[in-house]
């Protein structure tokens, strides 16, 4: 047994070395890797049985589709593949297809060949907010990044968003061994239940202790927690989020919030582990490695083999997070194999995208936001008391009017990879939406306010400036309509959701502030 693991480790390390060498020898944004995560797991004797990513191929030879998007203008769909075998997503194909409208991610394809694709999660113990009780689908442009220098998009999960596959092939069941990892945005999380990726119930309901084994990331403390204030990587084993052997507190599981986080959970009969690290540098640390929790029902495990993303096993839909890639394996991976995967992830080169902070939307700077619609190019987002409108502002305007149209850019209150806008002349008050209308309100410190006041910048939908997606309603963007300001979808039941001129109305030029 020991020699088998040593051989597997040697193969895994060699695979990682091939990857790094190949990338250095073939520098460039569209390069194909010699070996990727699932090649390394296979070399270690624990092959991938599910492999999901919207950012890149997870096999060196993979040349298929990564995910599918659907645009709101005509409900047409498009599969998004890679720039080259083993390479990064073809984000330009998505940008072209979604130009002038909004898109959602409808399918995240399984690269393993087993057909374990993730699609819109159905209702279960809890119902989602979409038609028929299904969960929402993620906005396709809400989580821009670069990988190896090429643009890509992650899966931005706001509360109510979720993906699932209840009919899988090859996923561990019962007490069978398995491993899994996910690359996540370590700054995007909340205390809702439950931002998970991994093994869950096949009927979307709580079937009792031990019927799940999934990666959880967030700062909820209801069931379990680790050191500090969170967030933590924990295991969702159903009816418990576990940070170690104890049911609630385990000091060995640290708060961890790298911008790109590598999270690992793995389990086998009466043995499991939590590992994690910075997906941009360094290695993985082990936060727990030992027997199953000291609570009845988790030894032996009763895993059912569904796959979830962004939700709990019973379709709990209160969580937030961002997912870039993840896999599930057959068998319990060695630490050496996982360390080699970490080296390959670091070599892949995850970086924040310039558009994720809007270029000129630099936290601490002061800006004004000018409309780009032909009718209204002298109008700026402004406030009058608590009302938020667009107002004509010029060099001849009164000083108060100029100040009302000036905003201090802050790190997003609910997600530091996005932004919030504090009034230049009303300290502590921010742009926030309420019933889809924008207001200027004082920050009350609540999680709801933080979410309502956070907006994620993207390239302007009409090709100009910047569009600002709501962090908690990511298919809705800041829009002016009849000189008032809303978060609006492209088409919908509300008058301000009208499709006509939507792309123009949600595109804003980030301008020199009227009041510095």
Distance of CA 126 to the CA centre of its chain: 21
Three-state secondary-structure class, residue 94: helix
Query: CB-based contacts of 24: which residues, under 8 Å, 6+ apart?
Result: none
Beta-carbon count within 10 A of 272 CB: 28
Q: Token pair of 106, please?
A: 């409808």
Query: CB-based contacts of 79: which residues, under 8 Å, 6+ apart?
Result: 65, 67, 68, 109
Q: Which H or E element spans position 433? A: strand 429-434
Q: How far from 163 is each of 109, 113, 315, 464, CA to CA, in Å?
A: 11, 19, 9, 32
Q: How far from 78 is each of 129, 211, 272, CA to CA, in Å?
A: 24, 35, 39
d(CA 241, CA 224): 5
d(CA 112, CA 92): 24
Q: What is the dihedral of CA 141, 142, 143, 147, to 10 degrees?
A: 20
User: What's the confidence (pLDDT) of residue 26?
Assistant: 33
Query: Active-site positions?
Result: 238, 314
User: What's the confidence (pLDDT) of residue 416?
Assistant: 82
In the 8-state DSSP scheme, what is residue 13? H
Taking alpha carbons only, the member of 321, 324, 330, 332 closest to residue 348 is 324
Residues of the chain with pLDDT under 70: 1-34, 354-359
Q: What are 68's strand-pairing partners?
A: 79, 107
Q: Contact 418/455 with Cβ under 8 angstroms?
A: yes
Residue with tokens 């083999």: 305
Long-range contacts of 93-99 (CB under 8 A, 24+ apart): 94/69, 94/140, 94/141, 94/153, 95/459, 97/69, 97/71, 98/69, 98/71, 98/140, 98/141, 99/461, 99/463
Asked, as a colleague might, if the bond just before 467 is cis with ω within 30 of 0, I would say no
Q: Contact 389/485 with Cβ under 8 angstroms?
A: yes
User: What's the confidence (pLDDT) of residue 365?
Assistant: 93
Query: CB-based contacts of 274: which residues, under 8 Å, 6+ apart?
Result: 233, 234, 235, 243, 244, 253, 264, 265, 286, 287, 288, 289
Looking at the whole model, is its pTM more than 0.75?
Answer: yes
d(CA 381, CA 390): 5
Helices (H), 419-474: 447-452
Q: Contact 59/38 with Cβ under 8 angstroms?
A: yes
Rg over alpha carbons for the chain, rounded to the nearest Å, is: 23
User: What's the confidence (pLDDT) of residue 492?
Assistant: 87
User: What's the confidence (pLDDT) of residue 259?
Assistant: 94
Tell me how long the chain is.
Answer: 516
Would the CA dihedral through 353, 359, 362, 367 be positive or negative?
A: negative
User: What's the confidence (pLDDT) of residue 271?
Assistant: 98
Give the strands of the sheet with 67-71, arranged side by side: 77-80, 67-71, 103-108, 118-120, 163-165, 306-309, 196-200, 213-218, 232-236, 241-242
User: What's the confidence (pLDDT) of residue 417?
Assistant: 80
User: What's the confidence (pLDDT) of residue 34?
Assistant: 57
d(CA 384, CA 309): 42
Taking alpha carbons only, the member of 350, 502, 478 closest to residue 419 is 478
DSSP assignment of 202-241 equals TTSS---TTS-EEEEEE---SS-B-STT--EEEEE-SS-E
What is the widest separation between alpha-carbon atoms in the chain?
81
Q: What is the dihedral of CA 64, 20, 331, 163, to 10 degrees?
A: -40
């Amino acid at each position: 047994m020991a020699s088998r693991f040593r051989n597997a480790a040697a193969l895994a390390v060699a695979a990682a070395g091939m990857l790094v060498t190949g990338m250095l020898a073939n520098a460039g944004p569209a390069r194909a890797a010699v070996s990727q995560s699932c090649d390394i797991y296979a070399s270690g004797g624990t092959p991938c049985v599910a492999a999901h990513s919207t950012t890149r191929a997870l096999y060196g030879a993979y040349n298929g589709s990564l995910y599918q998007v659907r645009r709101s203008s005509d409900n047409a769909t498009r599969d998004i593949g890679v720039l080259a075998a083993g390479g990064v997503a073809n984000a330009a194909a998505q940008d072209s297809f979604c130009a002038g409208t909004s898109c959602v991610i409808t399918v995240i394809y399984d690269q393993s060949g087993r057909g374990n694709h993730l699609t819109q999660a159905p209702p279960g113990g809890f119902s989602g907010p979409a038609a028929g009780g299904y969960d929402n689908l993620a906005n396709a442009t809400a989580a821009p990044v670069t990988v190896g220098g090429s643009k890509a998009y992650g899966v931005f999960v706001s509360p109510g968003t979720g993906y699932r596959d209840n009919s899988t092939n090859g996923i561990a069941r019962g007490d069978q061994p398995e491993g899994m990892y996910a690359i996540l945005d370590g700054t995007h999380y909340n205390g809702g239940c439950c931002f998970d990726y991994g093994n869950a119930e096949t009927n979307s309901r709580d079937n009792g202790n031990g019927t799940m084994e999934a990666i959880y990331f967030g700062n909820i403390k209801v069931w379990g927690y680790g050191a500090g204030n969170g967030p933590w990587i924990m295991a969702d084993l159903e009816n418990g989020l576990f940070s170690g052997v104890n049911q609630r507190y385990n000091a060995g599981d640290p708060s961890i919030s790298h911008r790109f986080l590598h999270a690992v959970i793995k389990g086998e009969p009466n043995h499991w582990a939590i590992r994690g690290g910075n997906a941009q540098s360094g290695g993985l640390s082990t936060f727990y490695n030992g027997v199953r929790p000291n609570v009845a029902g988790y030894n032996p495990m009763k895993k059912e083999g569904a796959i979830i993303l962004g939700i709990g096993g019973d379709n709990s839909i209160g969580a937030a997070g961002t997912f870039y890639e993840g896999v599930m394996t057959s068998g319990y991976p060695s630490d050496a194999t996982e360390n080699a995967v970490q080296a390959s992830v670091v070599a892949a080169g995850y970086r924040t995208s310039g558009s994720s902070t809007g270029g000129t939307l630099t936290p601490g700077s002061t800006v004004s936001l000018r409309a780009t619609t032909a009718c209204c190019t002298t109008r700026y987002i402004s406030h009058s008391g608590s009302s938020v409108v667009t107002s004509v502002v010029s060099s001849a305007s009164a000083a108060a009017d100029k100040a009302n149209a000036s905003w201090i850019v802050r790190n997003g209150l609910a997600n530091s990879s996005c932004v919030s806008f504090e009034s230049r002349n009303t300290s502590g008050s921010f742009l926030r939406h309420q019933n889809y209308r924008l207001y200027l309100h004082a920050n009350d410190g609540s999680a709801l306010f933080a979410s309502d006041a956070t907006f994620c910048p993207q390239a302007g939908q009409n090709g100009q400036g910047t569009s600002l997606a709501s962090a908690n309603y990511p298919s809705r963007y800041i829009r002016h309509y009849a000189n008032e300001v809303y978060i609006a979808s492209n088409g919908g039941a509300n008058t301000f959701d009208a499709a006509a001129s939507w792309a123009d109305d949600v595109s804003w030029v980030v301008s020199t502030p009227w009041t510095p």
